[in-house]
Amino acid sequence: MQLSQRRMMSIVRPLYVDCNQATAIAGPFGVVLWRGETTPAAVTRVRQMGLATIQQSQCAVGLIGIVENTAKVPDPECRRLSAKVNDELVNSGAVGLAAVIPGSGFSGAWIRGVVTALHLMARHRYPFRALESTTQACGWLAALIGESSLNWQKYADAIEEFRSEYAGAWTRELYDTPQGQEIAAEVIRE
């Protein structure tokens, strides 16, 4: 899957892109976009992205997972593996994790509430929030990072541009294929 080289590429460094997931580094933010199925290999790529973000950053880092409406609920094995990876990344230097679950109104708030409740029930010992937007996630994580000079809005804008570019590439690559039409039909049904 190809992404165009635009302005955001100077701020966002894509690491991996396929029809289910994209990972990138944007300054002190590690980013994963979930668009399809979650597999153990995809969770391993999140680990690699998180460790790379921690290694290359000049300050503390925050991790952002953006869950698109086409993403599938991970199976129990992937949820356990993901929790283990999140713990490892926090122990390696990440100051917090933000899940961006777009959607306004009752349904969006309800889904974010369920995700937050599940996190609390799992008794993880790191800061976590389920938020509606990338801007909210970057702002919250920037406060945890504690760098007063951090222009987090610049990163939020670049991440949103990356997200838009990924969505466009995903649509171009999949929409005209049988698999893409099946995915589109499923999204419409939901």
Please check whether residue 3 lies inside any domain of the structure.
Answer: no
Please check whether residue 1 lies inside any domain of the structure.
Answer: no
Please check whether residue 124 lies inside any domain of the structure.
Answer: yes
Beta bridge partners of 16: 23
Please check whether residue 2 lies inside any domain of the structure.
Answer: no
Please check whether residue 180 lies inside any domain of the structure.
Answer: yes
Please check whether residue 139 lies inside any domain of the structure.
Answer: yes
Which tens digit of pLDDT belongs to each residue from 43-95?
A: 999 999 999 999 998 889 999 999 988 888 889 899 899 999 999 999 999 99
Please check whether residue 166 lies inside any domain of the structure.
Answer: yes
CATH number assigned to the domain comprising residue 83:
3.30.750.24
Determine the pLDDT at residue 124.
72
Domain assignment of residue 109, given as a range: 9-189
Cα torsion 141, 26, 17, 54: sign: negative
Cα torsion 138, 45, 92, 128: sign: positive
Which tens digit of pLDDT belongs to each residue from 101-110?
A: 887 777 666 6
**Number of structural domains, the chain?**
1
Q: Residue 141 is inside which H or E element, if any?
A: helix 134-145
pTM, two decimal places: 0.82
Which tens digit of pLDDT belongs to each residue from 113-150?
A: 676 666 656 667 789 888 889 999 999 999 999 987 88
Please check whether residue 101 lies inside any domain of the structure.
Answer: yes
Coil, helix or strand at residue 146: coil
Beta bridge partners of 131: 100
